[in-house]
Amino acid sequence: MNPEVEGLLRALAPQVLGVLVRRHGQFDVCEDAVQEALLGAAQQWPADGIPDNPKGWLITAASRRWIEQYRSDTARRQREDKVVALTPAPPDPVPAQDDTLTILALCCHESLTTASQIALTLRAVGGLTTAEIARAFLVPEATVAQRISRAKQKIKQSGAKFRPPQDLTAVLHVLYLIFTEGSTASSGDTLVRVDLTAEAIRLTRQLHRRRPDDGELTGLLALMLLTDARRPARTNAHGTLIPLAEQDRTIWDTTAIAEGADLISTALKTAQIGPYQLQAAIAAVHADAKTAQDTDWPEILGLYDLLTVTAPGPMVSLNRIVAVAMVHGPKQALDELSTLDLDHYRVHAVKAHLLDLRGEHDQARHEYEKAAKLTLSAPEQRYLRSRSRHPR
């Protein structure tokens, strides 16, 4: 598809869906209608040109499809007169209100599973097709379609109100998960899935334009930018994983780093501190170091201490242990690691690294092998097995 058309359709998809849901209700039926309108535009606009009022075009097309679906429902044939009354007006004027945030909140409704929240968000707000989502997460298209269908039914059954959310916690969590899966894929042959990271950043930017004073939203966008800035150096030409300490920092994206650093600096000065801001601050410290040896590990450890209080969890504790090793040495870090109750390949990878630092290479080799067997990511498996053969 023409990149200009594709970008425009993705930006307009949640706005058009918001208009339809506000006008007609029935999120599930409206979402289907919008998807059909988007498909029609994707086929027609590259050939005929983008209309003068693309949002109005989509609203009209989607509303007509909504009416067709409504009329085809045999249980509602007696309400035909009401349907006729709901025929949309000409596309001008297009409603000025943008309901993207409200649609995003519906997609992240608490009644949905995390997998369903992610799939529905990417479809209804991101404008991705079911096939694109399936490819991104390496699952069958039918599985994604089923998740989306069930999610829409659950939203309908929940009686969720169509109103802007006061609390963005669930929305930010879903965007964070989408980005995290893209940044370090949990399975498959590639370390990074750029389609997911790019979409997460795009959606978070959209949200940030609507809530620029939200500290945690600002922190999340900063975290994404600072993390994604390292992407060019995270693998070599053969797709081999390169750890942070060994990356060529001259090819990091300095534009993304500058934007991310500016965002987190502003957020920390003006908003109540939260976990996304703290993670972004940690990423900013890494980005500020010209070499791995220049990294301010005491500052990073202090930030992890705050994060442990603000958002305690086993992964936070594990990351903090790495900082402990860099500040206080591997022995103290190993002592703390022994108290961590977490069955995850990264525990074994961190333990192997700490044992390497202590010169206990045979034990390190064993832990690297354990980690390699537990991860489903091919690049991580190759890296961990390489380390098991050549401990340092």
* CA dihedral (287, 290, 291, 295) positive or negative: negative
Count Cβ atoms within 10 A of the Cβ of residue 389 and give its class: 0-12 exposed, 13-18 middle, 19 or more buried: exposed
* Alpha-carbon gap, residue 147 to 112, rounded angstroms: 9
Long-range (24+ apart) CB contacts under 8 A made by 383-391 are 383/240, 383/241, 383/243, 384/345, 384/349, 384/352, 387/352, 387/356, 388/352, 388/364, 389/365, 391/352, 391/356, 391/361, 391/364, 391/365
Contact 168, 102 (CB under 8 A): no
Amino acid 93: pLDDT = 46
Least confident among 84-88, 246-250, 348-352: 84-88
* Alpha-carbon gap, residue 371 to 353, rounded angstroms: 11
Whether residue 84 has pLDDT greater than 60: no
pTM of the predicted structure, to 2 decimals: 0.86
Nearest residue to 13 (alpha-carbon basis) of 244, 202, 209: 202
Whether residue 82 has pLDDT greater than 90: no
Which tokens sit at 181?
Answer: 């899966």
Whether residue 75 has pLDDT greater than 80: no
pLDDT above 70 covers a percentage of the chain that reads 93
Amino acid 318: pLDDT = 97
Per-residue pLDDT reduced to its tens digit, 210-249: 999 999 999 999 999 999 999 999 999 889 999 999 999 9
Least confident among 120-134, 216-230, 253-267, 342-356: 120-134
Amino acid 137: pLDDT = 86
How does residue 278 score in pLDDT terms, banded at 50, 70 and 90?
A: very high
Amino acid 120: pLDDT = 94
Which tokens sit at 252?
Answer: 């990091």
Least confident among 94-98, 112-116, 167-171, 302-306: 94-98
Amino acid 92: pLDDT = 41
* Alpha-carbon gap, residue 284 to 257, rounded angstroms: 8
Whether residue 262 has pLDDT greater than 80: yes
Which tokens sit at 359?
Answer: 């010169």
- Peptide bond before residue 91 is cis, with ω within 30 degrees of 0: no
Whether residue 198 has pLDDT greater than 60: yes
